[in-house]
Amino acid sequence: MSDTKKKKSASSKAATPVTDAAVAGTASTADGSVVAAQVADASEPLALGEARFLTSEALGWLVEGLAAAGTPAVAPAWAGDAGRAAGGVGDAPETEYRVVSGAAELALGERLPRLSLKQFFLPPTEVLFSYKRNGADIELTPAQAARDTVVLGARPCDVAALPIVDKVMNWDYADELWNARRAATTVFSLSCKVEDDSCFCSAVFLGPAALKGSDGRLTPVDGGYLVEAFTDKGAAFVAAHADAFADLPDASANSAQAEQFRAAARERVAGNLQVDHGRLRDWLDHHFDDPFWASLGPRCNGCGVCASVCPTCHCFDIVDEPESVGSGVRRRNWDTCQTCVFTLHASGHNPRGDQNARYRQRIEHKFLAYPLKFGDVLCTGCGRCSRACPTGQDMAEILTAIDARAAEDAS
C-alpha cells in the first residue's frame, strides 16, 4: 500500500494536463518508478496496479460517510423528489450538482446536470463582507472561509473550466474567495459518455475524458468505477478513504473496459464540431464590423441563460443589500454581458448598444480575447448554452459558420 501511495504521489507531478492528448508522453517522473501511461491519455493502456475500484455500492457508503463526517460531497444527483421528469425536453429525469448525503440521490453519468459545477466555486450569489454601523463608525466583517469539499463524478467539461477560470481570477490580483474554494475542494471527474449532438468538447482542446482540472477520475466499468488519482489531493483522498477504494477485480479486463468506454465516447463527440482555432481567432480579430454579427443579435433575447449555465462565464456584479438601517452585506452576483444594462453608463451612453454587439462580445471574449490574454479558449464545449437557449442559438452552429468564413478568407 505504501508503495502504491509513493507511486501516486510521484505521478502527481505530471498531473497538470492540458488535454488528454497533451498528457501522453509528458508523465515521466523524477525517479522513473512510474510509467507515463499511468496518468496519460486514454489512448495509452493504463498502468496496472495504479487504478482502484469503487463499486457503486461503495460510492454510496462513501457519500454517506462523508455526509456523516460533515464534509460536503458534491455529485450529480436527481433533481427534485425521486427524479422529477424533465418538462418537454426529454424523458429522462433531470439532474443537478448538489451536496448529497445518500446513495439514492446519486445520478452519476445520467443526464448532464442542469447547471455546471461553477456554482460551487463562484456561487450565483455570495457575501463578500458584511457591514455594520456603530455610531459614526462602520465595522466590516469578511466572508466565511471555504469548507473542505469533495466533488465526485463531475463532467470533464465542467472540471476543465476550473483551471481555465483560475487564470482570470489570478492575474495580478488574486481572488481569494475563488482560490480558497479551489484549494479546499478535491475534484474527481467522471469519464463522460457524451450527452448529445450539442457536445463539442473535442473541438475546444478537451475530450470526454479530459483530465484538465481533475484531481482524479472515475470511469464506469462493470459494477462500479475505475478510479485514478492525478494530483496529491486526489491521491490523498483515495488514501484517506481506502476502505471504499478496492483493488480492481480484474485489472487487465477492467482497464480495457474503461478504455473502451472512453474511446467510444471520443468517437461519439468527434463528429459534432471541428474548428480551426487559429484561423477562427484571426477572422474574429479582423471582422469586428462584419455583417455576420447582425445575424446573431435578432435571434437573442438577451436573457443571459447561456452565461448562467456556462461553466466558464464568470462575469459578476457587486451590490449592497441592506438588512437594516445600519447593517447589511455586500454581495457578488452572477452577471452577464448579454443584458442591455451590463455596460450602460450612468450618463445613458452604452458602448455595446445593441444585441449584435453584445452577442459578438460573447463570442469574441470566449474565442479571441481570453485566448489572447490567458492562453485558453473560454469554452469547454459542454453545449449547455445551445441546449438552454430559448431562441435556439447554437454555439456549435455559430462556430461552424465563423469557421467557414475564416476558411474562405484563408483560401
Interface with another protein (CB under 8 A): 65-66, 69-71, 128-129, 131, 133, 136-138, 140-148, 150, 168-169, 171-177, 180, 186, 233, 236-237, 240-241, 288, 314-320, 322, 328, 330, 332, 335, 337, 342-347, 349, 351-352, 357, 361, 364-365, 368-370, 372-373
Q: How far is the CB of 298 from another protein (least distance, A)?
A: 20
Q: Output the nine-digit C-alpha cell for 170.
A: 489570478
34: Cβ–Cβ under 8 A, 6 or more apart, which residues?
A: 7, 10, 11, 27, 47, 50
- Are 226 and 45 contacting, i.e. CB atoms less than 8 angstroms apart? no
Q: By C-alpha distance, which of 246, 247, 189 is closest to 215?
A: 189
Nearer to another protein, 196 or 232 (CB): 232
- Are 305 and 113 contacting, i.e. CB atoms less than 8 angstroms apart? no
Q: What is the DSSP letter of 397?
A: H
Q: How far apart are CA 225 and CA 108, in angstroms?
A: 10
**For residue 230, what are the CA distances in angstroms to 5, 50, 181, 224, 283?**
12, 11, 19, 19, 37
Measured in whole angstroms, the distance separating CA 122 from the mean position of its chain's CA atoms is 12
Q: Report H helices in 19-97.
A: 20-23, 56-69
Parallel, antiparallel, or unpaired for β 185-190 and 149-154? parallel
Nearer to another protein, 173 or 411 (CB): 173
Task: With H, G, I as helix, E, B as strand and everything else as coil, classify residue 38.
Answer: helix
Instruction: Compute φ and ψ for 184, nearest 5 degrees.
Output: -85, -5
Q: By C-alpha distance, which of 264, 150, 262, 277 is closest to 211?
A: 262
Nearer to another protein, 114 or 330 (CB): 330
Q: How far is the CB of 283 from another protein (least distance, A)?
A: 14
Please work out, in degrees rounded to the nearest 5, the angle formed at the alpha carbon of residue 255 by the alpha carbons of 254 and 259: 120
Q: How far is the CB of 319 from another protein (least distance, A)?
A: 6
Q: How far apart are CA 19 and CA 201, in angstroms?
A: 10
Nearer to another protein, 82 or 136 (CB): 136
Nearer to another protein, 258 or 284 (CB): 284
Q: How far is the CB of 74 from another protein (least distance, A)?
A: 12
Q: How far apart are CA 297 and CA 301, in angstroms?
A: 8
Q: Facing residues of 138 across strands?
A: 133
Q: How far apart are CA 120 and CA 269, in angstroms?
A: 27
Q: How far apart are CA 151 and CA 146, in angstroms?
A: 14
Nearer to another protein, 52 or 193 (CB): 52
Q: How far is the CB of 329 from another protein (least distance, A)?
A: 10
Task: With H, G, I as helix, E, B as strand and everything else as coil, classify residue 260.
Answer: helix
**Sequence-ordered strand ranges (E) for 297-345:** 316-322, 327-334
Q: How far is the CB of 92 from another protein (least distance, A)?
A: 31
Q: How far is the CB of 87 from another protein (least distance, A)?
A: 32
Q: How far is the CB of 396 from another protein (least distance, A)?
A: 23
Q: How far is the CB of 363 from another protein (least distance, A)?
A: 12
Q: How far is the CB of 238 from another protein (least distance, A)?
A: 11
Q: How far is the CB of 154 from another protein (least distance, A)?
A: 16
What amino acid occupies position 330?
R
Nearer to another protein, 318 or 404 (CB): 318
Nearer to another protein, 323 or 397 (CB): 323
Nearer to another protein, 114 or 241 (CB): 241
Nearer to another protein, 52 or 314 (CB): 314
Nearer to another protein, 233 or 299 (CB): 233
